[in-house]
Amino acid sequence: MRILNSIPSPTISYFDVGPLRIHFYAVFILVGIAAAILIGNKRLAARGGENWVVLDIALWTVPFGLIGARLFHVFTHVTDYFGPGKNAMEIFAIWNGGLAIYGGLIAGAFGAYVGCRQAGIKFFSFADAIAPGVLLAQAIGRWGNYFNQELFGKPTDLPWGLEIERPNPAIPTGLPDSAVFHPTFAYEFLWSLVGVAVLLILDKRFDLRWGRLFALYLSYYSIGRFWIEGIRIDPSEIFLGLRTNQWSALLTLAIGVGLYVYSRRSHTGVETSVYNKLKAVAETAE
């Protein structure tokens, strides 16, 4: 039987606690954020940062990241929210999915920069410390897509094909009801989880500072995201044969490689402190 050789999708995407409706998508996002903060705090403190200064920076990073992730999604899926029969207020319904990781990275990095300036922490010191946690957060967050039955891949005959309830606007017309799909959420979860281990091992072996671990995170994630994005069938703008997020992956890969090369050339010494010079001068004056 086909159903014995496939992955069933969850029959619910939320649960109610009294009058409060809690969506699994939001739960996984929040759990991922908490994991990133905990890991980032432990790593930055081990490098000489004040305990929980990461939380101060996260108060800037997280809101900027969430807003940027949503705006990036909306701008790359304009027809989903504007036009005949569309409800523009759905822009605010983030519990239905639609947080673009690359938008979150762009805006989150800006928020982190502001937070680091406020805390006196070097931006790349923070970025290196938080990078494995961010990748773990992305891995955890992908389970929200599973509960929302979204962002799945092309039809497949593999035994781990994902069952999707009909109707679903992402399923091409003409496919039989028995068709199952690549569980791209699981592919990205596994790719990211392995990446966390890779980053931690490389950092322990080479003590990667000055933005180098962050650069490797950008590069590693984007390589996996490029090929996973290529098998997704949810609606997306196509430019020169590639989906929007494939172009985003290529650009981010180029930034990661460029940042690593720049860091190797411009910072040959040992990072003696995660604090910037202004912070160090102020502490000395006290």
* Mean model confidence pLDDT for the chain: 92
Look at residue 4 in the predicted model and tell me its pLDDT: 54
pLDDT of 171 higher than 50: yes
Q: Rounded to the nearest 5 degrees, what angle is found at the Cα of 142, between the Cα atoms of 256 and 148?
A: 140
CA distance 166 to 180: 11
CA distance 259 to 267: 11
Dump pLDDT digits (tens) for 9-48.
999 999 999 999 999 999 999 999 999 999 999 999 999 9
Look at residue 106 in the predicted model and tell me its pLDDT: 96
Mean pLDDT value of segment 271-276: 92
- The pTM of the full predicted model, rounded to 2 decimals, is 0.92
pLDDT of 284 higher than 90: no
Contacts of 121 (CB under 8 A, 6+ apart): 44, 49, 53, 57, 274, 275, 276, 279
Q: What are the domain boundaries of the chain?
A: 2-170+178-285
CA distance 102 to 76: 11
Cβ count within 10 A of residue 43? 22
Q: Rounded to the nearest 5 degrees, what angle is found at the Cα of 55, between the Cα atoms of 280 and 283?
A: 15
Look at residue 93 in the predicted model and tell me its pLDDT: 79
Dump pLDDT digits (tens) for 99-132.
899 999 999 999 999 999 999 999 999 999 999 9
Q: How confident is the model at residue 160 (pLDDT cuts 50, 70, 90)?
A: very high
Structure token pair of residue 198: 């890779």
CA distance 180 to 272: 53
Dump pLDDT digits (tens) for 257-269.
999 999 999 988 8
Dump pLDDT digits (tens) for 184-204.
999 999 999 999 999 999 999
CA distance 245 to 65: 17
- The four Cα atoms 199, 203, 204, 210 give a dihedral, to 10 degrees, of -160
Alpha carbon of 3 to those of 6, 26, 145: distances in Å? 5, 29, 21
Amino acid letter, residue 21 = R
